Amino acid sequence: MKRYLALQKIVETGSFAKAAEIMGYSQPALTSMITSLEDELSIKLLNRKRTGSSLTDEGKELYPYIERTIFQYHATIEKAKDINNLKTGIIRMATVTSVSVNWLPEVIQEFHEQYPDVEFIMHQGDYNMIEEWIKIGAVDFGFVSPEFVKGIEIEPLKTGGFSAILPKDHPLAELDVVPLKELASNPFIMLEMGHHSECEAAFREHDIRPNVRYTIHDDYAIMAMVERGMGVSLLANLVIGKIAGSFDVVTKPVDPPVYRTLGIGYKDKLDLPMASKKFIKALKSHLDELP
């Protein structure tokens, strides 16, 4: 298992030297471990260059299986800790920006006060990325929209709305409520959320074809572009609550309204590590207080 963990750290850092330093090995020892693993598998896993190390084509094909093996190893360790009733562990979660900014900090801080030795590893992505991470076991659970993912268990948490994001001097900024069709007719900046998104679904539902000028993966970038008058957008109120004040933009409700539900997704609730189960329970106890 040490060889798999060493390979993972090299892939993450792109460097034998950095991986060796982080793991507390000498570089020759780490090189020997990888060479031994390659000999055992009869596959060259890494391209070794002066500029860094990266997976070979064969290595890329095999690496997801190695990641699953590492996950199962960690899961075994976590289960052993659960059995021994230890208060340590690792919580691996995947999240979207709005959740990591608005929900998690307060809950994590309070959770750490009770369980100071628990480690958090958070991956941020879109619904499709999170769905895949859950399925391959890269994370214990993730925050997703039940409407857009399949093949995993999902427990709905909260439903929230969306608002139009407009430049301060935009004509639609004078309205109390912005018609969705008029918003879509302007140069539109779409939040990219993988293969699916609430905005795209809302436009399809009302037979509206938005004038998409840009498709962006980052909420903050969208706000900055709207501020510069490059277009308009539609974002979840959960996102807007924290970041709108940092930009010179106007937010307005839309008609018809657009909503989304966020939930916790996992492969099998019974197989969740105890630390993750406790964190999910802590999060749910704060739902009424969360935006």
Question: Which segment of 73-82, 124-133, 207-216 scores lowest on mean pLDDT?
Answer: 73-82
- The pLDDT score that the predictor gives to residue 207 is 93
Domain boundary (40, 60, 85) is at 85
Q: What are the angstrom distances between the C-alpha of 270 and each of 143, 161, 216, 256, 273?
A: 18, 32, 37, 40, 9
Question: In this model, does residue 243 exceed pLDDT 80?
Answer: no
In a domain, 273, yes or no: no
CA distance 168 to 228: 9
In a domain, 22, yes or no: yes
Domain that holds residue 168: 159-259
Question: In this model, does residue 201 exceed pLDDT 90?
Answer: no
In a domain, 97, yes or no: no
- The pLDDT score that the predictor gives to residue 83 is 59
pLDDT band at 195; cut points 50, 70, 90: low
Q: What are the angstrom distances between the C-alpha of 215 and each of 57, 190, 193, 268?
A: 30, 5, 10, 34
177 three-state secondary structure: coil
Tokens of residue 40, six digits: 């055992």
173-201 mean pLDDT:
87
Torsion angle (degrees, nearest 10) of CA 151, 154, 160, 162: -10
CA distance 158 to 146: 11
In a domain, 32, yes or no: yes
CA distance 121 to 272: 15
Question: In this model, does residue 246 exceed pLDDT 90?
Answer: no
- Of 273, 257, 253, the residue nearest 79 (C-alpha): 273
Question: In this model, does residue 26 exceed pLDDT 70?
Answer: yes
In a domain, 135, yes or no: no
Q: What are the angstrom distances between the C-alpha of 279 and each of 111, 118, 262?
A: 7, 10, 17
Question: In this model, does residue 191 exceed pLDDT 90?
Answer: no
- Of 224, 199, 242, the residue nearest 98 (C-alpha): 242
Q: What are the angstrom distances between the C-alpha of 209 and each of 59, 125, 170?
A: 43, 26, 21
Please check whether residues 164 and 250 belong to one and the same domain.
Answer: yes
Domain boundary (60, 85, 110) is at 85
The string of DSSP letters for 89-142 reads EEEEEEE-HHHHHHTHHHHHHHHHHH-TTEEEEEEE--HHHHHHHHHHTSSSEE
Q: What is the domain-level CATH number for residue 246?
A: 3.40.190.10
Question: In this model, does residue 107 exceed pLDDT 90?
Answer: yes
- The pLDDT score that the predictor gives to residue 116 is 86
91-102 mean pLDDT:
90
CB 291 within 8 A of CB 105: no
Q: Is 10 left (phi over 0), alpha (psi -120 to 50) or beta?
A: alpha
* Structural domain count, the chain: 2
Tokens of residue 99, six digits: 């959740």
Question: In this model, does residue 248 exceed pLDDT 60?
Answer: yes
- The pLDDT score that the predictor gives to residue 266 is 92
Question: Token match 């507390």: residue?
Answer: 24
- The pLDDT score that the predictor gives to residue 49 is 86
Give percent of the chain with pLDDT exceeding 70: 96
In a domain, 147, yes or no: no
In a domain, 146, yes or no: no
Question: In this model, does residue 19 exceed pLDDT 80?
Answer: yes
Q: Identify the residue with better confidence: 240 or 210.
A: 210
Please check whether residues 163 and 255 belong to one and the same domain.
Answer: yes
Q: What is the domain-level CATH number for residue 22?
A: 1.10.10.10
pLDDT tens per residue, range 156-179: 999 999 999 999 999 999 999 999
What's the whole-number average pLDDT of the chain? 89
pLDDT tens per residue, range 113-164: 888 888 899 998 888 889 999 999 899 999 998 887 888 999 999 999 999 9
pLDDT tens per residue, range 32-65: 999 999 999 999 999 988 888 999 999 999 999 9
In a domain, 141, yes or no: no
Domain boundary (51, 85, 119) is at 85
